[in-house]
């Protein structure tokens, strides 16, 4: 397993790094139609169109073992692909992850501009910790289960980020892919996919919202929310902008896994033609 966030000395980075989000998250952004849509999705006022092609089904994933123990898959969107795998982590394993993360927790930060100083922001209110997968068998098993479920190669992924959101904690709309290629190793590529392991349930609020897709996924203990950040052409899919809705009651714990595009040639082959035009209109704030 290659954890490129570990660095040469195998130590976790002092802060989280996020791409150029802050310039977009100003007072004017909070007055935009896009921000209003995000708030409506979080409040449950907007619902996705019911589509007959979306299913809840058993999936055998990418491992023979899953013929005996199939995964419970719930599809939220096919383009871009967004789905939930139910009951991936047991309560015991979740307790282990949270116990390991607590001593390492610190306030989450954002990186406003390429080369800029990491800073705390009201746009992102949470605490997080970085954990190396090799440090515990539970985390090695998490990657194995994720590989079985998605078919993606998890060799090149960032180390596990465990985040905690208290009452009022939230993360406003953002993309997970890096817009600046200087923020990721060229030989490993951008973040092709994201997986969120839900390490708690939330009494009220705290959903993961996709404003452009009218989707809000409520945290359920042990579930994994998965989606692709890039088109098959490896262009950025701007429709995948998402947010962590404010926690109104309770506490939200999640584990973020970001998988990079290198070594995914056979797991997710590129199309002959580029298909990114469909999402370009979502790059501009309205």
Q: Is pLDDT of 27 > 70?
A: no
Check pLDDT > 80 for residue 16. Answer: no
| Residues forming a β-bridge with 224 | 85, 197
Say if residue 40 is exposed, middle or buried (CB neighbours under 10 Å; 0-12, 13-18, 19+): middle
DSSP strands (E only) in 4-122: 56-59, 71-78, 81-86, 106-107
Would you say 129 and 253 are in contact if contact means Cβ atoms under 8 Å apart?
Answer: no
Taking residues 15-34, report their average pLDDT: 62
pLDDT for residue 188:
93
Residue 116: partners with Cβ closer than 8 Å, 6 or more residues away: none
Residues 131 and 206 sit within 8 Å (Cβ to Cβ): no
Which among 267, 85, 75 has a CA at the least distance from the CA of 189? Answer: 267
The owner of tokens 């359920």 is: 220
The helix (H) or strand (E) run that includes residue 229 is none
28 pLDDT exceeds 50? yes
91: helix, strand or coil: helix
Domains of the chain plus CATH, in order, are: 22-283 (2.60.120.620)
Reported as a single tens digit per residue, the pLDDT across 209-267 is: 999 999 999 999 999 999 999 999 999 999 999 999 999 999 999 999 999 999 999 99
Q: What is the pLDDT of residue 276?
A: 84
Distance CA 57, CA 21 (A): 36
| Tens digits of residue pLDDT in 31-86 | 899 999 999 999 999 888 878 899 999 999 878 888 899 999 999 999 999 999 99
18: pLDDT strictly greater than 60:
no
pLDDT-wise least confident of 132-136, 206-210, 274-278, 281-285 = 274-278
* pLDDT single digits (tens) 121-170: 555 678 999 999 999 999 999 999 999 999 999 999 999 999 999 999 99
pLDDT of residue 256: 98
- CB distance 149 to 85 below 8 Å: yes
Per-residue confidence band for 7, with pLDDT thresholds at 50, 70 and 90: very low
CA distance 149 to 66: 9
Is residue 14 predicted with pLDDT exceeding 80? no
Band (pLDDT 50/70/90 cuts) for residue 19 is very low
Residue appearing with tokens 């610190």: 106
Strand (E) or helix (H) holding 95: helix 91-101
pTM, two decimal places:
0.88
Name the token pair of 218: 């409520």
Q: How far apart (Å, rounded) are the C-alpha atoms in residues 149 and 263?
A: 17
Measure the N-to-C terminal CA separation of the chain; round to a whole number of Å.
Answer: 41
137-150 and 91-101 helices, crossing angle to 10°: 120
pLDDT surpasses 90 at 2:
no
């Amino acid at each position: 397993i290659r954890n490129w966030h570990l660095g040469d000395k195998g130590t976790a980075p002092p802060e989280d790094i996020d791409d150029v989000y802050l310039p977009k998250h100003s007072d004017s952004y909070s007055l935009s139609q896009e921000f209003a849509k995000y708030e409506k999705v979080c409040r449950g006022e907007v619902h996705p169109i019911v589509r007959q092609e979306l299913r809840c089904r058993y999936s055998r994933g990418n491992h023979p073992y899953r013929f005996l123990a199939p995964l419970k898959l719930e599809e939220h969107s096919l383009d871009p692909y967004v789905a939930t795998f139910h009951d991936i982590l047991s309560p015991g394993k979740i307790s282990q992850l949270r116990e390991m993360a607590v001593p390492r927790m610190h306030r989450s930060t954002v990186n406003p501009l390429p080369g800029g100083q990491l800073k705390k922001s009201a746009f992102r209110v949470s605490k997080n910790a970085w954990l190396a997968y090799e440090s515990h068998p539970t985390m090695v098993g998490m990657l194995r289960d994720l590989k079985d479920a998605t078919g993606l190669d998890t060799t090149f992924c960032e180390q596990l980020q465990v985040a905690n959101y208290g009452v009022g904690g939230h993360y406003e709309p953002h993309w997970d892919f890096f817009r600046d290629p200087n923020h990721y190793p060229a030989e490993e590529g951008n973040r092709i996919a994201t997986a969120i392991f839900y390490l708690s349930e939330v009494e009220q609020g705290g959903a993961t919202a996709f404003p452009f897709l009218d989707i809000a996924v409520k945290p359920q203990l042990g579930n994994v929310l998965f989606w692709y950040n890039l088109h098959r052409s490896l262009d950025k899919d701007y429709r995948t902008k998402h947010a962590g809705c404010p926690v109104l009651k309770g506490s939200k714990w999640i584990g973020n896994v970001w998988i990079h595009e290198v070594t995914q040639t056979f797991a997710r082959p590129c199309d002959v033609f580029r298909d990114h035009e469909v999402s370009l209109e979502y790059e501009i704030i309205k």
